DNA sequence: TATCAACACGAAACCGTTTTCGTTGTGTTT
DNA sequence: AAACACAACGAAAACGGTTTCGTGTTGATA
């Protein structure tokens, strides 16, 4: 077990000073040709690599970015992480992932853990508990310390920082409009409670499209699921009672469940009843019939967030100017609607 | 923007030495009551938190663990990460995630990035390219430096380190046996090329079960997909030609695709043709019919891996003793087989 | 020959901790 | 009064780098 070689080791071995070694390895003009070559050769031979921690301590940059998300076993978050990781890696950054598991306390603890020097900035999506609670002091504290934060998807406007979201309202609007244009009359919405910023926005888009149409709004056609957990019964009775001919769902799972019940009742998809979900995940792709969805472009979102964050981290200027990037969703047409 | 307060700041402000502050904050007996109280109060007031980087440099422990996996947009890996993260977090560790994207080079680069002080140990699953190539020098170098490594799922026996796998062979054996017991006669296997250690093991289990049965082995009932990418046509023609009455698939996607083609041909699942897949993901759960799978218990695997790693990291002893933990898979019975 | 610039290198501070090993001042013991 | 124990604190080294600012040597210049 040959443990890592340091500048000091090289200096001792070659009988020069530490500073000379340091400079030689950075190819400084200050050091003579012979000495440089000797040192560089030696360093290569012993596979010298500078210690990241020491460098971090010196220039107060870790080249790590902290990602705090509610859950990782969700296709959307997963794609976002991938986008972040790819982009960050290309710029020499590592990604530290922390899971809040939809818990406010865990979110706070995770941020505190990372905020003491471990990372240069945060990318995060709020836990449902945080959004419900409306307490964003942990975010404010961090930004006040000068640590940049980029919020994505589940955001709040109460914190001044960069944000990147998709236009959820527009996505829902377009999907609903699609139904209307196809002549659907009883268009339902299956969503979660309003505390999730995204569900709220999607509901708005749904309502807007209906309001603009001759159909108008029927609040009873909206099913609000109390939690993120699946409650199959609720969906079943809702479909039985309301008999919609088109259903917009705020995620894949609601949609796939809905389709299953519809099929069990003998309804034909998309003729008798059409479905559109959110999130372009595996479920939509391999569902039977395959599910039309509003794609959120998670990977793109991750890239954008990472870009915004790293740009801010690396800009010396302390501009107090923040932007919100709004990505356009796109409708991915599959067999759960007519086409 | 009040930037972080340091020991030095407190010392200056309270006109004591840095060492006194440090000791006072650790409640050292060395420091007098009054002084301690004064310092602790001041620290709390200004929300002092020690700088992680400095501490890492001092005691050569980062409390970070590096996770290098081929892909994150796969349910199995995702659950493993969750298991790792939960366990590691509970023990005060953070998780740095790097994606190799099935590329040997990326795997090497990622490991080098992290091996220079950023982490205390690695948890990883090999990229397909690495397994194909059979080059494990990057792993050996790291272990020789004294950095502990835990391999999971996609492992190699050429590197001496802790490992945690599920008994893939057993899983496939049990699944195949299930088919045999149910009176299936034409049992097919859809797998990937053998370079993936897991596919190899699963194929072995499948073959073993058949060999032990009166049915015997028919190599032509095995479809080897050349890559991880879906090739729907290959599956379709395979099913058309071989007309199996039971299909074991090494992942969810192959199985769901298979089921779809079978249904299109008018076959009834599970009566005419049964399916079993690997990986207990969303796809299996919400497929129609829901898919029976060999569950790999990714989260458990992640926990085990994290436990093994952290135990090793925190044990002073330089025991050169490594263990391989083998988790038992379980068959999750759903509607794609008779029951 | 005295002066000076350029060259090549080293000393030391610094980043923020921890920790060892003094060094005081006080009170107790004989 | 001398010796000593002990409590309370500080100085400084160490972790592994980077960087500023010398400093000694050389050769060229006046």
Q: What is the pLDDT of residues A271-280, one digit of tens each?
A: 999 999 999 9
pLDDT at A292 over 80: yes
Whether residue B228 lies within 8 A of chain A, CB to CB, comes out as no
Q: Does nucleic acid strand D have an atom less than 7 angstroms from the CB of B28? A: no
Residue-level pLDDT at B118: 96
pLDDT at A27 over 70: yes
Q: Which helix (H) or strand (E) holds A91?
A: none
pLDDT at A99 over 70: yes
Scanning A264-323 for CB atoms below 8 A from B yields 281-283, 286-288, 318
Q: Does nucleic acid strand C have an atom less than 7 angstroms from the CB of B6? A: yes
pLDDT at A320 over 90: no
Contact call for B64 and A118, based on CB within 8 A: yes
Residue-level pLDDT at A197: 83
Q: Does nucleic acid strand D have an atom less than 7 angstroms from the CB of A60? A: no
In this complex, the nucleotide whose C1' atom is nearest to the CA atom of residue A23 is D18
Please state, for a pLDDT cut of 90, what percent of chain A lies above it. 89
End-to-end CA distance of chain A: 64
For residue B84 the two structure tokens come to 């790792």
- Residue B166 CA to residue B146 CA, distance in Å, equals 26
Q: Does nucleic acid strand C have an atom less than 7 angstroms from the CB of A94? A: no
Q: What is the pLDDT along chain B (339 residues), one digit of tens a residue?
A: 677 999 999 999 999 999 999 999 999 999 999 999 999 999 999 999 999 999 999 999 999 999 999 999 989 999 999 999 999 999 999 999 999 999 999 999 999 999 999 999 999 999 999 999 999 999 999 999 999 999 999 999 999 999 999 999 999 999 999 999 999 999 999 999 877 788 999 999 999 999 999 999 999 999 999 866 667 889 999 999 999 999 999 999 999 999 989 998 999 999 999 999 999 998 999 998 999 999 999 999 999 999 999 999 999 666 779 999 999 999 999 999 998
- Residue A187 CA to residue A185 CA, distance in Å, equals 6
Residue-level pLDDT at B230: 67
Scanning A73-102 for CB atoms below 8 A from B yields 73, 75, 78-79, 81-82, 85-86, 89, 94-99
Q: Determine which of A3-7, A98-102, B204-208, B242-246 has the lowest per-residue pLDDT on average.
A: A3-7
Chain A interface mutation, best of B286, B289, B290, B291, highest count of A Cβ atoms under 10 Å = B286
pLDDT at A229 over 80: no
HSE, side-chain direction, 13 A CA sphere, residue A107: 25
**Straight-line distance from CA B249 to C1' C30, in Å?**
91
Residues from chain A that touch B230, judged by Cβ atoms under 8 A, are: none
Q: Kindly list the distances between the CA atom of residue A303 and the CA atoms of A68, A117, A273, B75, in Å, as whole numbers in the listed order.
A: 15, 23, 37, 21
**Contact in structure between B124 and B77 (CB atoms under 8 Å):** no
Residues 6+ apart with CB under 8 A from A142: A111, A115, A122, A149
What chain A holds in terms of domains, given with CATH numbers, is: 7-50 (no CATH), 62-166+298-327 (3.40.50.2300), 168-296 (3.40.50.2300)
Q: What is the DSSP letter of B158?
A: T
**Which residues lie across from A85 on neighbouring strands?**
none
**Straight-line distance from CA A11 to C1' C4, in Å?**
32
Residue-level pLDDT at B288: 85
pLDDT at A230 over 90: no
Most confident of A82-96, A248-262, B182-196: A82-96
Helices A18-25/A7-14 angle, 10° precision: 110
Nearest chain A residue to B59 by CA distance is A53
SS3 state at A339: coil
Contact call for B1 and A146, based on CB within 8 A: yes
pLDDT in tens, A173-207: 999 999 999 999 999 999 998 777 889 999 999 99
**Straight-line distance from CA B45 to C1' C20, in Å?**
30
SS3 state at B149: strand
Q: Which helix (H) or strand (E) holds A247?
A: strand A246-249
Q: Does nucleic acid strand C have an atom less than 7 angstroms from the CB of A35? A: yes
In this complex, the nucleotide whose C1' atom is nearest to the CA atom of residue B23 is C18
Q: Does nucleic acid strand C have an atom less than 7 angstroms from the CB of A115? A: no
């Amino acid at each position: 077990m040959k443990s890592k070689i340091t500048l000091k080791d090289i200096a001792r071995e070659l009988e020069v000073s530490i500073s000379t070694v340091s400079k030689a390895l950075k190819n400084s003009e200050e050091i003579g040709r012979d000495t440089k070559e000797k040192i560089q050769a030696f360093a290569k031979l012993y596979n010298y690599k500078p210690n990241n921690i020491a460098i971090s301590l010196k220039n107060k940059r870790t080249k790590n970015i902290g990602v705090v998300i509610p859950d990782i076993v969700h296709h959307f978050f997963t794609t976002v992480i991938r986008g972040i990781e790819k982009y960050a890696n290309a710029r020499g950054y590592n990604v530290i992932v922390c899971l809040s598991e939809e818990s406010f306390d865990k979110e706070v603890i995770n941020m505190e853990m990372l905020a003491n020097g471990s990372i240069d900035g945060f990318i995060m999506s709020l836990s449902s508990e945080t959004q419900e609670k409306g307490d964003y002091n942990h975010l404010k504290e961090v930004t006040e310390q000068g640590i940049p934060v980029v919020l994505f998807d589940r955001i709040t406007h109460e914190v001044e920082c960069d944000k990147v979201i998709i236009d959820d309202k527009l996505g829902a609007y377009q999907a609903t409009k699609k139904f209307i244009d196809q002549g659907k009359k009883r268009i339902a919405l299956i969503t979660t409670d309003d505390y999730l910023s995204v569900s709220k926005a999607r509901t708005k888009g749904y309502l807007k499209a209906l309001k603009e149409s001759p159909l108008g709004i029927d609040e009873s056609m909206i099913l609000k699921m109390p939690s993120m957990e699946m409650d199959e019964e609720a969906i079943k009775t809702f479909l039985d009672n309301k008999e919609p001919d088109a259903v917009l769902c705020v995620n894949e799972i609601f949609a796939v469940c809905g389709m299953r019940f519809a099929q069990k009742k003998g309804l034909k998809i998309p003729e008798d009843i059409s479905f559109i979900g959110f999130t372009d995940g595996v479920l939509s792709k391999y569902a039977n019939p395959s599910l039309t969805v509003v794609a959120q472009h998670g990977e793109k979102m991750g890239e954008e967030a990472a870009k915004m964050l790293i740009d801010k981290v690396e800009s010396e200027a302390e501009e107090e100017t923040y932007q919100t990037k709004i990505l356009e969703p796109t409708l991915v047409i599959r067999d759960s609607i007519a086409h």
